[in-house]
Chains A and B, each alone.
Chain A
Amino acid sequence: MSTSDKFTFSRRSFLKTSALASGGMLIGFNLFNACKEEAKMPIDLSQLNYNDFNAFIKISPEGKVTIFAPNPEIGQGVKTSMPMLIAEELDVLWEDVYVVQAGLDTENYKNQIAGGSQSLRQNWEPLRQTGATAKQMLVNAAAARWDVEASTCTAKQGVITNANGETLGYGDVVLEAAQLEVPEEVTLKEPQNFTIIGQETANVDIDKIITGKPLFGLDYKEEGMVYASVLRPPAFGQVLDTYDATAALTIPGVIDVITIGEKTRKYFEGERTSWTAKLSQSDKVVVIAKSTWDAIKGKNALKATWKQDSEVENSELHDEKLMGILDGNKFRTRRKDGDIKKAFAEADKILDRTYESPFLPHNTMEPMNFFASVTPEKVRLVGPVQTPEEAAKVVSGLLGRDLEDISVELTRMGGGFGRRLYGDFVYEVAEIADVIKKPVKMVSSREDDMSTGVYRPAIKYRIAASIKDGKVTGYHLKEAAINGNMYGLIPNFFPAAAIENYQVDTANYKSNITTGAWRAPYTNFLASAEQSFFDELAEELGVDRVKLHMDLLEKAKSNPDPKIEYSPERLQGVLKLVVEKSNYGNTIAEVYQGLAVYYCHNTHVAEVADIVMTNGVPVVKKVTCAVDCGIVVNPLGAKNQIKGGVIDGIGHTMYGELTFNNGEPQSNNFNSYQLIRMGQTPKVDVHFVKNDIAPTGLGEPTLPPVGAAVANAIYKATGQRLTKQPYMNNLQAEKVVG
């Protein structure tokens, strides 16, 4: 879609205004859905009603703009980049814009969720329209005052100018503007006229972050608040049998010991397979205390016995089951082009490889926590969650309260990576607050957090390609994952449409270990497997790696398939750019380069990893990253996301692994689980493909390909094709040739 389209549908359907009693104009708007006809705009800021509008802009008589930003901030920068879109079209100075994190108080708001790198992509048009509409109303108000045609006036940086050169500030006309009809049509700026979009803009919370002000869920405090520490089953498959709180209750500061779980279990009754059901099979013992430390000490003093409820599994079992699936023939076919059987039967040669990856915990730096206060009038929930709407719905159900009684206030989140999409900790604290009738904050320790997670599942892929007359004729991808991993769109990613005979099959092993989205879900390991495979395939074919990819993409271009998700042109674009910027293919002594190119989460990425061998160990020195995410809204935030994704990806592919023994996670803190540190970090060199295409997100897409870029570089250095993550555990030192 062009970025300068005129929007002619009724503005009234999603935007209303009011004049604030305290002065200034208030604009309420709904992204994604229309306002209710009867929805009334408040005239008092304390009455902001998120049932009727999911976001607000206030323009003060001084011309200052306050945006009540709707999306949860998990570190991906939307609290900065989304307001930038409004401010751009409203045409104000960024210095005059303030951003306040909006809470959730609505059943209507469908998209208050941070996940899948979608925030910016979905809001690109609506947020700009909102800004443009508000600007038009201000211009109309000024024109009316001057008694001239609005079309003869211009507005820039908060100032409206008429044909005579007279000026009025936005603040001067806010009261009149608030009374006007919402215009039916507005024009959005052409990208070349952007003054805020595309500028390096610092994180709006930076001052608070660097001075240690309260921002995060764990920092939240209220008068009379107590702390809760929850003892959950130590192993998946176990439930609480008995417990003894005698010792815990002797600890000074411990107020009470209670159990919870029944309400959540009832709410999810009948379900055994969802993550919520799995995490709520058991009762949990909760220590209520005057401080976090007292609560943790109290929990450690609890004595509990556990009984087996379902099988307690080992990592060996998972390996065996997944390998058994790959060796078998019970799959669900997700996409099938041509006839791979025939292609494989007629092949001169078949390349067949198996790739393996372990479970991964999220390990957000801020462990799971949430605040709740339950009174006969209200249920107040405050904290870091990526899915506030779902949390409110479940809490309403499990406490038997009207949804209108529930409010969710969002704090900044100390990382998400997918973990905070799952609101188990919100349900726990709601149950706790309902029992103790006091404001309470549930705090997970690091050990609790890592051992009762919703993990990236262990996955194995088998990829096979048939070669005939020096060409790739068939491609068969099989996935075996704990509880499943792939979803419907993935089979339409590369190399769909690029290879004539193509098939994607999936199957899973149902486990009682909770699994779910982890940064770049579905593709975080798939990209590693696929792009390692293509590197080997190019070698097998005896063709240049870049040429093989370019040719396959050319094939996809000549074979237009409306179902494919990626753009062959844009993949070629990032590939060309990364080759140029990394000097790929031009040998530098003792530097080994590996390449990967990938599309996911609507963004196209190519990466080259440069490694050197130090004392026989591969060290990633540099990663060159070429990205096509359309218009780059905030280059500063974008580069942060890209670099973070690359380094995070290296960390997990090299070191990340969570294993299970009798259902029990074998790592529970950073002394037994290795996260990447600065000393292991390469320099990441970022380059953007410049275009005027609507922007796509960056929270995830740079992570998946880097595993393959590193593995392909390690192959060049050592002659070893790494197929099993974490790579550092599977690198055989004696084979090192570099």
Chain B
Amino acid sequence: MPTFNLKINNQTHTVEADMDTPLLWVLRDQLELVGTKYSCGIGQCGACNIHVDGNVMRSCLLQVSQAEGMKITTIEGLSENGDHPVQEAWKDIDVPQCGYCQAGQIMTAAAFLEKNPNPTGEEIRNAMNGNICRCASYNSIEEAIKVAAEKLS
């Protein structure tokens, strides 16, 4: 089985996997980075969102072979102590209900605010439209992103 060198959260990991294995399952089953969640497996829900070279990407659609050489960040590596402004804002607002989708929501929001630190409500809603929250914590997510934007400015 081929091996791949992956740069994840500033660490290099060597993993053995089939070429077509989604990065999601390498993260979860091999590297025990289980913060990245499986929910649909077809890029519809955003629960598995990670950062690849600073861009949000669905890890269920990214094959491990494509991920080599890229700078990958998962929720575990977003901040050292869980204190990224977006994480802090999530805490301030107490966003999660079941909590399952929230890592994906946070990763999407963090990358979005990096590019647009002063978003309008409409821009937030567009940016977050790819992430499903089945508990429908959308009001709180929107509010938390506004709080995070303030923290960043």
Contact = CB atoms under 8 A, between A and B. Distances in A.
A210 B102 contact: yes
Interface string A335-368: 0000000000000000000000000000111110
B82 A211 contact: yes
A216 interface: yes
Contacts of B68: none
A412 B96 CA distance: 12
Nearest to A364: B134
Contacts of A678: 124-125, 128-129, 131, 133, 138, 141-142
B8 interface: no
B36 A212 contact: yes
Contact of A205 (B41, B44, B99, B131): B99
A211 B129 contact: no
B75 interface: yes
B136 A209 contact: no
B150 interface: no
B55 interface: no
Nearest to B122: A679
Given A647-B136, A676-B136, A211 B87 contact: yes
Interface string B1-32: 10000000000000000100110010011101
B44 A218 contact: no
Nearest to A207: B82
Given A207-B82, A210-B87, A367 B39 contact: yes
A670 B129 contact: no
A589 B100 CA distance: 40
Interface string B127-153: 011111111111111100000000000
Taking each of B1, B35, B129, B138, which has the highest tally of chain A beta carbons within 10 Å of its own beta carbon?
B138
Contact of A677 (B21, B96, B129, B139): B129
Contact of B99 (A215, A221, A252, A684): A215
Contact of B134 (A211, A292, A415): A415
Interface string B69-109: 00000111010001000010011001011111111001000
Given A205-B99, A293-B21, A446-B40, A365 B29 contact: no
A206 interface: yes
B74 A206 contact: no
A202 B91 contact: yes
Interface in A205-227: 205-207, 209-216, 218-219, 221, 227
Nearest to A640: B97
A34 interface: no
A interface, size bucket: 35 or more
Nearest to B84: A210
B56 interface: no
B99 A412 contact: yes
Given A206-B91, A643-B137, A293 B1 contact: no
Nearest to B24: A293
Contacts of B41: 296, 445-446, 669
Given A203-B99, A365-B47, A644 B136 contact: yes
Contact of A648 (B28, B38, B102, B136): B136
A179 B90 CA distance: 44
A291 B30 contact: yes
B61 interface: no
Nearest to A291: B29
A212 B38 CA distance: 13
Interface residues of B, number: 58
Contacts of A365: 37, 39, 45, 47, 98, 100-101, 132-135
Interface string A355-384: 000000001111100000000000000000
Interface in A670-687: 670-671, 675-679, 681, 683-684
B91 A210 contact: yes
A292 B87 contact: no
Contact of B139 (A200, A367, A647, A679): A647
A137 to B, nearest CB: 33
B45 to A, nearest CB: 6
Contacts of A651: 136
Contacts of B142: 678
A679 B134 CA distance: 14
Nearest to A450: B40
A75 interface: yes
Contacts of A216: 37, 100
Interface string A50-76: 000000000000000000000001111
A75 B124 CA distance: 24
A537 interface: no
A363 B133 CA distance: 11
A728 interface: no
B39 A76 contact: no
Given A210-B90, A643-B139, A669-B41, 11 more contacts: A207-B91, A210-B91, A212-B34, A212-B103, A219-B28, A293-B29, A367-B38, A414-B101, A417-B134, A640-B94, A644-B135
7 contacts: A365-B101, A365-B133, A366-B39, A414-B101, A669-B40, A678-B129, A681-B139
For the complex of A and B, list the 8 residue pairs with the smallest distance between their C-beta atoms, beginning with the closest.
A212-B35, A75-B98, A414-B100, A212-B75, A647-B136, A670-B44, A209-B99, A293-B25
Interface of A: 73-77, 200, 202-203, 205-207, 209-216, 218-219, 221, 227, 252-253, 291-293, 296, 363-367, 412-417, 445-446, 636-637, 640-641, 643-648, 651, 669-671, 675-679, 681, 683-684
